[in-house]
Structure 1
C-alpha cells in the first residue's frame, strides 16, 4: 500500500490508461438508461432502481478486487503488479495536485480565462466571471474536499482491508474499489434535481456513510500536524455542521483551520446563488501560497497515516500473541468443571 501511494504520487492517472473509475462510469450510464426507461417519473420505482444500481456496482467492484487478491495468492508474480496498479488507481493524490496546480499556474501567468476554464474541470460551481480571489477560494475548497474523497477515503478503506485480509476478510483492493464505486455513484447520480433526486439517493447515502469516519480522522490528523488535534477537530465539526453535506463542510473546515485560511461563502450553481457556511471566520484570505499549504498538508498527512499504519501492523502480531497468552493463563487458572 505504501508502494501504491508512491506510484500514485509518481504517475498519477495517465490519460491513455484505462481507469477503473471510467469503467464504473460506463456501467452507471448504462444502468441509468435502463432504470429511467423502466421507472419513468415514479419516485418509488426510481429509488428502487437506484438501490439496485448501487448493489450491482458495489458487488461488481468488490468481486473484481477479490479476484485480483485471489490471483495474488495463487500466482504472486502476476497478481502483485496488478494489485499494485489497482491500489494506485484508487488514489488521487497526484492528479488532485496537478489539477489544482494547473489553476494556480494560469493565475500566475495572469490568464484569468484559462484559470476559470481549468477550474471548471474540478468544481461544480459556475466559474463564469469569477475574480482571482474567488478562483483561489474555489481551488482551496476543492483541494480540501477532494483530499478526503479522492485520497484519504480510499486510503482508509485500503488500510482497513490490509488488516482484514490476513484474517480471511476482504482485502485492500476490494474495499478501496467499493469506496470508489460509492464515490462515483455520488458524483454521477447524487444530485437533488429531476429524477436524480430519487435515483441517486442510495449511492449518495452510502458515500456519506463510507466517508464519515475517514473525514473525521483527517480532521484529527491535521490537528496532530498543527499541534492541537482535539481543538481542531472540534472547530471542524462546529464550522462544518451547517453544511448540507455531513462530510464536505467538515473536511473543508479542517483544512481551513490547519492552513489558517477562511473558506466558504456564496457560490453560484446553475445560475442560482447558494450561501455556504463560512469556515474559519477571521482567518486569512486565500492566496496561492495558502492553496499550496493545503496540498502540502495532504502530503504530510498521507505520510502520517502510512507511518501509523506500519506501526500498528508491526505491533499487532505481538499484541495478539500477548492477548493469547493472557487468555490461556486465565483459562488455565479456572477450576475444571465437575
Structure 2
C-alpha cells in the first residue's frame, strides 16, 4: 500500500494506459440502457434496476480485484520484486493525488498570467473537467472558489476514501489471505463512486435508477470523511485550537445537503483559512450552498495551493498511521 501511494504521487495515471474506471463506466452505461429499456417510466422497476446494476458492477469490480490479488500472491513467491511493483502500480490507479494536483495546478498557472481574463474560455474548459457545476459564466474569483471546493471534496473522494478501503483490505489480509484485499476493496469503492458520478442525479429516471449507487457511495465515504475532519487539523497550524477547528468545521459542514462533501469542504476551508460556499448552477438550476468559514477571505491562488499541500501532508500522515496499526496487529 505504501508503494502504491508513492507511485501515485510520482507517476499518477498514465493516459496511454487503460484505467479500471473506464471499464466500469462501459459496464455501467450498458446496464443503464438495459435497465431503462426494461423499466421505461416505472419508478419501482427503475429502482430495482438500479439496485441490480449496483450489485453487478460492485461484484464484478470486487471479483476482478480479488482475482488479480490471487495472481499477485502466486507470483510473489517466484518473483517478489516484479510482482510487488506491478501490484502496487495497479493499486495506485485507485488513488488520484497526482491527477487532482495536476488538474488544479493547470488552472492556477493560467490564473497567474497578467491578464487571466483573456484565458477565461480556456480556464472554464479545464475547470469543467473536474467540477459538476455550470462554468460558462464564472469569473476568475468563482473559478478559484470552484477550484478550492473541488480540491477539498475530491481529496476525500479520490484519495482518502480509497486509501481507507485499501487499509481495510490490508487488515483483512492480516487475518486471512483468502479474503478480499486492498485492491478488491479499493475497486469496490471506485465502482460505487463511478456509479454515483454517472447516475447519482436527482432528475428524470436517474432519481430512481441511481438511488442505490448514490446512497452506497455516501455510506462508503461517511467514515473516511469524518476521519479527515479529525486528522487534518494536526497537519496544519489552524487559527483556532484543534478542537475548535473541528467543531466549527462540523457546524458549517453539516448544514450542507450532502452528508460528506460539506464536511470535507469545511475542514479544508478552516485549515487553509479560505471561505467556501455560495451560489452555484447545475444544468441551469440554481443551488445555494451554505457559506463555510465566512470569517476568512475568498479563495486565492495561495489558498488553493495550500489545500493541495495539506492533502499531500495528510496522505503521508495516514500512511504512517496505517503502517503503525498494521505493525501493531502483527505483534
Q: TM-score, normalized by length of structure 1?
A: 0.91
Q: How far apart are the structure 2 equivalents of 1:202 and 1:231? A: 35
Alignment of 1:224-235 (within 5 A): 224-226=234-236, 228-235=241-248
Query: 195, 199, 214: which is aligned to 1:204?
Result: 214
Partner of 2:315: 302
Report matched runs for 1:1-80 at 5 Å: 1-76=1-76, 77=79, 79-80=83-84
The CA distance in 1 between the partners of 2:157 and 2:73, in whole Å, is 30
Aligned to 1:87: 91
- Give deviations 1:230-287, integer Å, cap 9, x for gaps: 3322222211112111000000001000101100011111222210010111112110
Q: Which residue of 2 aligns with 1:214?
A: 224
Alignment deviations for residues 2-54 of structure 1 (CA, whole Å, 9 cap, x no partner): 11111111111111110000000000000001000001110000000000000
Tell me if the contact between 1:104 and 1:115 (Cα under 8 Å) persists in the aligned partners. Answer: no
- Name the structure 2 match of 1:136: 144
**1:119-140 Cα distance to aligned partner (Å, 9 max, x none):** 1111111111211110000000
Moved more, 14-23 or 101-110: 101-110
Q: Contact 1:68 / 1:82 at 8 angstroms: preserved in 2?
A: no
Residue number in structure 1 paired with 2:103:
99
- Between the aligned partners of 1:6 and 1:86, the Cα distance in structure 2 is 12
The answer as to whether partners of 2:276 and 2:291 remain within 8 angstroms in 1 is yes
Kept after mapping to 2: 8 A contact 1:220/1:232:
no
Contact 2:189 2:217 in 1 (8 A): yes
Residues 164 and 224 in structure 2, CA contact (< 8 A), matched pair in contact too: yes
- Is 1:284 paired with 2:297? yes
Q: Secondary structure at the match of 2:287?
A: strand
- By relative contact order (CA 8 Å, sep 6+), the higher-ranking structure is 2
Query: Would you say the 8 A contact 2:236–2:310 is kept in 1?
Result: no
Shift, 1:317, TM fit? 2.4
Is residue 68–residue 79 contact of structure 1 (8 Å, CA) maintained in 2? no
Structure index of larger Rg: 1
| Structure 2: gaps of 5 or more residues | none
Matched, 1:181 2:194: no
- Give the Cα separation in 1 of the matches to 2:90 and 2:183: 7
Secondary structure at 1:117 match in 2: helix
User: CA separation in 2, counterparts of 1:201 and 1:229?
Assistant: 36
Supply the distance in 2 between the matched residues of 1:81 and 1:61 (Cα, whole angstroms). 21
Gaps in structure 1 of 5+ consecutive residues: 319-338
Distance in 1, matches of 2:137 and 2:36, equals 36
- Note if 1:264 corresponds to 2:277: yes
Q: Which of 238, 259, 270 is the equivalent residue of 1:246? A: 259
**Partner SS for 1:268:** strand
| Aligned residue-pair number | 318
